[in-house]
Amino acid sequence: MTACSVRLQIFLQLQAVNKELCSKFEACLGASTSRVEILHYLLQHEEVTQSTLQREVNIDAAAVTRHLKQLELAGTIVRYKKADDQRATWVKLEEEAKRHIEQSYSEKSQFVKETLDGFSEAELEQFLQMLSKVSKNVSRVTKNHLGGENK
Amino acid sequence: MTACSVRLQIFLQLQAVNKELCSKFEACLGASTSRVEILHYLLQHEEVTQSTLQREVNIDAAAVTRHLKQLELAGTIVRYKKADDQRATWVKLEEEAKRHIEQSYSEKSQFVKETLDGFSEAELEQFLQMLSKVSKNVSRVTKNHLGGENK
DNA sequence: CATCAACAATTGATGCATCAACTATTAGAC
DNA sequence: GTCTAATAGTTGATGCATCAATTGTTGATG
């Protein structure tokens, strides 16, 4: 119990932080975190298919479809198909939306900066690495368990 | 952009890690993270009112009600009122459920341990402190923004 | 002691994410 | 070339969390 308690606390704290962060973030900036992730990815990749977007952002395909539909309706993105493959749907940000997002990044960065107040650059770097390490561990764990180790 | 990019990445990574962690956790152990948090709290506090539970675990009151209803139906907890205040509902784990949860902690701890593989005890401690610091920052940020600084 | 504000819990409505089932398109096997 | 399997996206059903509105209870004020 005591040996695992720090780890369990980390787990619970991670939950708690993330949850609060999400709700505050949405309240402050009026966009769900999923949508932010999608837009962030699109801003950095110019043109992608829905399926790769779905894989990269790690959101269910159905959710991606619904988000993109709304974003298209709002004029934020364009969706289109290409001649060589009529299955894949490509997604791209509208030019105006790009500018808009870039601009709103300043507000976001202000928010993010405040939540990471009191961290030195070195600590931030370290924090990020820790998160990445956990991320790697998590994906590995699943594979093992599905491999038959579980139960 | 570059100055904030590490911070933004932390934010996004935090999201990603948490999400994957939750889904894997649920898949492996068959309980939603909310429920785990509730049960964890109950295991450590013997007897508690719904409203304090709701505050401590930071879940919406409606969600708490629904979780507890199910848990009561499953025989995991008991709910009752006290003579001196007919408003508050008190919640307590059944003895058998306590044992069951304690026992299932070993499986959980195995899972948690794997996700935190490769961390020294000192690093874990540090990680936890970082998370706590972010948590404090987040709650502070909200107050400021609601105070009128936003917009 | 009647009224009103507060507190506690519940319910209904809504939004979002996921799974499963389905359609359409492409590529491979024979 | 046709049949089958795989791929891409969509839709419906379900579960969960949140907000808003409601009920019931308590305490304070006049």
Question: How far in angstroms lies nucleotide C3's C1' from the CA of residue B85?
Answer: 21
Question: Tens of pLDDT along A39-90?
Answer: 999 999 999 999 999 999 999 999 999 999 999 999 999 999 999 999 999 9
Residues A131 and A121: their CA atoms lie apart, in Å, by 15
Eight-class DSSP state of A149: I
Residue B14 lies in a domain: no
In the prediction, which pLDDT does A142 show? 67
Q: Using an 8 Å Cβ cutoff, are A28 and B149 in contact?
A: no
Residues B47 and B88: their CA atoms lie apart, in Å, by 12
| Chain A residues within an 8 Å CB radius of B8 | 40, 108-109, 112
Residues B121 and B139: their CA atoms lie apart, in Å, by 27
Choose among B116, B64, B110, B115: nearest CA to B91: B64
Q: Which amino acid is at A117?
A: D
Residue A123 lies in a domain: no
Q: How many CB atoms lie within 10 A of CB B120?
A: 8
Over residues A131-147, the mean pLDDT reads 78
Give me the total of CB pairs closer than 8 Å, taking one residue from chain A and one from chain B. 168
Question: Tens of pLDDT along A8-45?
Answer: 889 889 999 999 988 988 888 778 899 999 999 999 99
Look at chain B and report how many structural domains it folds into.
1
Residue B117 lies in a domain: no
Residues B21 and A123: their CA atoms lie apart, in Å, by 23
Residues A72 and A80: their CA atoms lie apart, in Å, by 11
Q: Which residue has the higher pLDDT, A140 or A122?
A: A122
Tell me the shortest Cα–Cα distance from B144 to chain A, in angstroms.
10
Per DSSP, helices labelled H in B30-120 are: 33-45, 50-57, 61-73, 95-115
Question: How far in angstroms lies nucleotide C12's C1' from the CA of residue B69?
Answer: 17
DSSP conformation letters of A49-118: EHHHHHHHHT--HHHHHHHHHHHHHTTSEEEEEETTEEEEEEEEE-HHHHHHHHHHHHHHHHHHHHHTTT
Work out the percent of chain B whose per-residue pLDDT is above 90: 62
Residue A7 lies in a domain: no
Residue A2 lies in a domain: no
The first and second tokens of residue B146, run together, are 């609601």
Residue B29 lies in a domain: yes
A18 touches strand D (CB under 7 A): no
In the prediction, which pLDDT does B146 show? 47
Residues A64 and A54: their CA atoms lie apart, in Å, by 6
Residues A67 and A54: their CA atoms lie apart, in Å, by 11
Question: How far in angstroms lies nucleotide D30's C1' from the CA of residue B47?
Answer: 38
Residue A70 lies in a domain: yes
Q: Which range of residues forms the domain containing residue A92?
A: 19-115
The first and second tokens of residue B125, run together, are 């401690």
Residue B46 lies in a domain: yes
Counting as low any pLDDT under 50, the low residues of chain B are 1-3, 146-151
| CATH number, position B44 | 1.10.10.10
